[in-house]
Amino acid sequence: MFYEGKAKKLYSTSDPDLVIAYFKDDATAFNGKKRDTIEDKGVVNNRMSELFFTLLEKNGVNTHFVRRLNDREMLCKRLHIIPVETVVRNLVAGSMAKRLGRKEGEPLPHPIVEYYYKSDPLDDPMILGEHAIAFGWATAAELKQIDAMALKVDGLLSKFLDERGVLLVDFKLEFGRYHGEVLLGDEICPDTCRFWDKATRQKLDKDRFRHDLGGVEEAYHEMLRRVEN
């Protein structure tokens, strides 16, 4: 093991270009200030990420995903992570609602892409693309590519989920460099996305843990059931 984060452990392999990601049940919110365990979260997130990465790869989005090894482990290409988290928003929720005084659930006229500097000690502050370029975190060309990839992911996942009665409210993506190419990394799951039931607006994601809404494990398993069917 060469790295342990809030949700995953990373292990090196005999191939320097490949790593094994182990998905944990540990749950954190507010950049680690709130901690607990969600039973089988790692299993759900691993299987859901496999499904989404496979869907994206089939539609021309290059990712770090190679294959799922078992319930909790995934083989991935080893990325040099760009320290800029990319958030795509389709409805107002979370920090956007709080920051701008807007009502949660308000639809946006078009998807909005935001950047955040990946730094737990600083609570992942929101940044401009110019900051990323100025401080050498990403080039202008990389940000342009990240924008295009993020919006393509949004279109593909929104359509897929809409057909399964789920609204993709917003989601976080991480990108990294792999032999000169920008690839989508990390995971796509209820930890990194806001999923709402289309009819009831019931939350089916980590917000249930963040805000003590209860039914956390049930929400994760319900999302897995919907995307796998």
For the record, the structure tokens of 135 come out as 């401080």
What pLDDT does residue 157 have? Answer: 98
For residue range 57-104, what is the model confidence (pLDDT) as tens digits? Answer: 999 999 999 999 999 999 999 999 999 999 999 999 999 999 999 999
Q: How confident is the model at residue 4 (pLDDT cuts 50, 70, 90)?
A: very high
What pLDDT does residue 117 have? Answer: 98
Average pLDDT for 145-156 = 98
What pLDDT does residue 161 have? Answer: 98
Which amino acid, residue 204? L
For residue range 191-226, what is the model confidence (pLDDT) as tens digits? Answer: 999 999 999 999 999 999 999 999 999 999 999 999
Q: What is the pTM of this model?
A: 0.96
For residue range 107-138, what is the model confidence (pLDDT) as tens digits? Answer: 999 999 999 999 989 999 999 999 999 999 99
For the record, the structure tokens of 132 come out as 């990323």
- Going by C-beta distance under 8 Å and a sequence separation of 6 or more, which residues neighbour residue 5? none
What pLDDT does residue 28 have? Answer: 85
For residue range 155-202, what is the model confidence (pLDDT) as tens digits? Answer: 999 999 999 999 999 999 999 999 999 999 999 999 999 999 999 999
Edge-to-edge strand order for the sheet containing 193-197? 126-127, 107-117, 84-91, 166-173, 193-197
What pLDDT does residue 32 have? Answer: 64
Beta strand segments in 118-227, E: 126-127, 166-173, 175-178, 181-184, 193-197
